[in-house]
Every structure is written in C-alpha cells, then in structure tokens.
Amino acid sequence: MGSYNTSDFKKGLKVQIDGDPYMMVECNFVKPGKGNALYKCKLRNLVRNTMLDRTFKGGDSLEAADVTEIAAQFLYRQQDMFVFMDQENYEQYELTKDQVDETWKYLKEGMVCSMVLFNNKPISVSPPNHVILKIDYCEPSIKGNTATNLTKPVKLETGAEVICPAFVGIGDMIKVDTRNGEYLERAKG
C-alpha cells in the first residue's frame, strides 16, 4: 500500500487513519511566520460517516486507503439485508440496513449503483443522481391545480415519501434527485 506526503494532500484523497478509510473533504495550507508549514484537514470516515479534524506538519505522510469504487446492480432486499452484484465479475455483496442508510428510498431491482469497497468489503452504496419511480399512493388531484405551486406528499413504489406538485397522481412516473430527495419532473412511463 502506498502513502501520501503532505505535498500530495488535496480534496477527495482517500487515506487510512488508525485502520479506517477516510476521504479528505477539505485541506488548507497554513504557513505561520516561524516554524514548519501546517496542513489543516477535514476528513470524513467512509465507514461511519463521521468527521475528523486533523493538523499535519510539512513532511508528514498518511497511508493510502485500499478503497475502490465499482458498478453494482441492486438485486433484491431480504429483511434488513440488501444484495448487490458486481457488474464485472458477478460477485454478490450484502449490505446491512445501516450501510445502505437513506439510499433504500431510491433502490429499485435491476438499478446499477456505485459501491465503495474497502479491503474488498462493501462499506457504502450510492444510487444514480436521478431516478425514475412510480407513485404508489397520494391524495387525489383537484381540478385546476395545474398552474399553482401547491404540493402534497406522495408514496413511491420503493416505500419512500417525497413532496410533489399537487397535479401528480397514482401511477405517474416521476424523476427524483437522490442527493436531496426532491421531485424534479414528471417522467414518461
């Protein structure tokens, strides 16, 4: 496994600290009047999703994390386990409900997601930025609500709830932004 010197530090770098993988979210170079240069870094733990603030002196180094990103197809959910398959070698991975976190809201069988592996074990999964899902339930639309900005909660085929314009109805296909859970537009079924 390689290592990174402070001169290599930059946003997006994946490093290993105390056996856990971290991604640099922010890295600021500080040169005080006297003494060594300092690197103030914010790191996000890729397993627990917690933040860590660390300051490194010029010349310090960090071990590179054995993190890879693969395309994995969502196969099915079995109680609190989500099963995915690597698109290249057809290897199957199981993730717990905690690892999947809020992503379950957008997972549809057959969907290709981005999975992060640490030491060849899955630690997180992200759906595409935009997904098209069917509305399973919502209150009926009222005639004349097409041009106003009235909204209502709707339940999607995955069980997730999003806020949509009042003109959408049961059976409509909608496009949702998975990064913030917002309705984007009505999609063609």
CA distance 168 to 13: 42
Pair (118, 167) in one structural domain: no
Task: Give yes or no: residues 89 and 54 share one domain.
Answer: no
CATH assignment at residue 27:
2.30.30.30
What local confidence, expressed as pLDDT, does residue 148 receive? 62
Gap between the Cα atoms of 28 and 39, Å rounded: 6
Contact between residue 33 and residue 19 where contact means Cβ atoms under 8 Å apart = no
Residue ending a domain, choose from 48, 64, 80? 64
What is the per-residue pLDDT for 124?
85
Q: Are residues 140 and 182 in the same domain?
A: yes
SS3 content of the chain, % helix, strand, coil (to 5): 5, 55, 40
CA distance 111 to 155: 19
Q: For tokens 């759906």, what's the residue?
A: 127
Give the Cα separation of 113 and 71 in Å (integer): 6
Between CA 173 and CA 186 the distance in angstroms is 6
Same domain, 142 and 171: yes
Say what the pLDDT of residue 27 is: 92
Q: Do both 39 and 79 map to the same domain?
A: no
**117 and 163 both lie in a single domain:** no
95 & 84 share domain: yes
- Please tell me the distance from the alpha carbon of residue 43 to that of residue 67, in angstroms, as a whole number: 15
Task: Give me the CATH number covering residue 161.
Answer: 2.40.50.140
Q: Which domain holds residue 32?
A: 3-64
What does the pLDDT read at residue 43? 94
Give the C-alpha separation, 154 to 164, whole Å: 7
> Does residue 142 share a domain with residue 175?
yes
- End residue of a domain, out of 20, 40, 64: 64
Token couple for 45: 């733990």
Domain count, the chain: 3
Same domain, 88 and 116: yes
Cα 98 versus chain centre, distance: 13
Q: Are residues 83 and 103 in the same domain?
A: yes
79-130 tens-digit pLDDT: 899 999 999 999 999 999 888 888 899 999 999 999 999 988 998 899 999 9
Question: Across-strand partners of 186?
Answer: 174
pLDDT in tens, the chain (189 residues): 688 998 888 888 899 999 899 989 999 988 888 878 899 999 999 888 889 999 999 889 999 998 899 999 999 999 899 999 999 999 999 999 888 888 899 999 999 999 999 988 998 899 999 999 999 999 887 666 555 678 899 999 999 999 998 888 899 999 999 989 999 999 875
Q: What's the rounded Cα separation, in Å, for the pair 6 and 9?
A: 5
Quick check: pTM over 0.85?
no
